[in-house]
Structure 1
Amino acid sequence: MSKPLKTTTGRRKTAIARVFITEGSGSITVNGRDFEEYFPTVALQNQILFPLALTNSRQTYDFKVNATGGGSTGQVGAVRLGIARALIGVNPELRGVLKQNGLLTRDSRAKERKKPGRPGARKRFQFSKR
């Protein structure tokens, strides 16, 4: 693989994705595997392809992704953000289209921490009147 044009990072929940973009034919590899193999459901695959479909750059660039942490949904969100940021790094004119569709905003929702003396973040022990 040649030298990357741009290296970006995407995050979602506890997942982190490092994205390397190069000129190429449209291949996307995640952790050394094809992204269709790594994310088996069509819904997850469509989320990754969404920024590429909006910018008509599916066949223009190759993406190599290192995804760690979280589950499949978190990793997909991280990869999607990383790809969108990488596209802007290569072509800043795409910023308007990606921003309009909410692809440049990091989804900051994460699991709420467990509070001391409670069984969960918000759950209470069963109330006993007597």
Structure 2
Amino acid sequence: MIKQLKDFKIGFDNSFYGTGRRKESVARVWLVRDTNKQIVKVKNTQKEYNLRDYVQRETLYYKVLYPLKLTGLEGKFGIYATVEGGGISAQAEAIMYGIAKAILKYNPEFRQTLKKAGLLTRDAREKERKKYGLMKARKAYRWSKR
């Protein structure tokens, strides 16, 4: 089964898949051989962007590519990611986690390197729910004695 996505041909023989999550964001990431394009597709708008343009900040861009740099695979794979939920920062971290998982599918020997860098541990911090009687999760209304 080969899917034609704009400039990518994603099939079982030339791509590796990983899912990344962070806060409310979910990223489905494919590492594609024989290309160096980096495309992000936003689920709710169905628009495709260049990865560097989508994450906007250089620090986030380098954070997304960190797993590839760490394993020495920079420039060997193209990235195709679909993202939904959360903000740009959380989506960027979700893409990073997805890339790390896809690298494991490519070569399980990188597990030790990625684990030591903390790229296989999902950041479980979520937004705390709002409680009744309070303005937000912990912020209370101003108290007045009289």
The interval holding the TM-score normalised by the smaller chain is over 0.9
Structure 1: state its 5+ residue gaps: none
Quick one: percent identity of the two aligned structures? 38
1:3 aligns with 2:11: yes
> AA paired with 2:57?
T
Aligned alpha-carbon RMSD (Å): 1.2
Q: How far is 1:124 from its partner?
A: 1.3
- The alignment's TM-score, normalised by the length of structure 1, stands at 0.94
1:25 aligns with 2:35: yes
Alignment correspondent of 1:16: 26
Q: How far is 1:127 from its partner?
A: 1.8
2:117 paired residue among 101, 104, 125: 101
* 1:24/1:59 contact within 8 Å kept: no
**How many residue pairs were aligned?**
130
**SS at the partner of 1:115?**
coil
1:55 aligns with 2:84: no
> AA paired with 1:48?
V
Structure 2: state its 5+ residue gaps: 1-8, 42-47
Structure 1 runs (4+) greater than 6 angstroms displaced: none
In structure 2, C-alpha distance between the alignment counterparts of 1:27 and 1:48, rounded to whole Å: 14
> AA paired with 2:62?
N
- The alignment's TM-score, normalised by the length of structure 2, stands at 0.84
* 1:9/1:82 contact within 8 Å kept: yes
In structure 2, C-alpha distance between the alignment counterparts of 1:41 and 1:24, rounded to whole Å: 27
Cα deviations by residue, 1:9-65 (Å, 9 ceiling, x for unpaired): 100000000011221233221112210111111011011111111011011112210
In structure 2, C-alpha distance between the alignment counterparts of 1:2 and 1:129, rounded to whole Å: 66
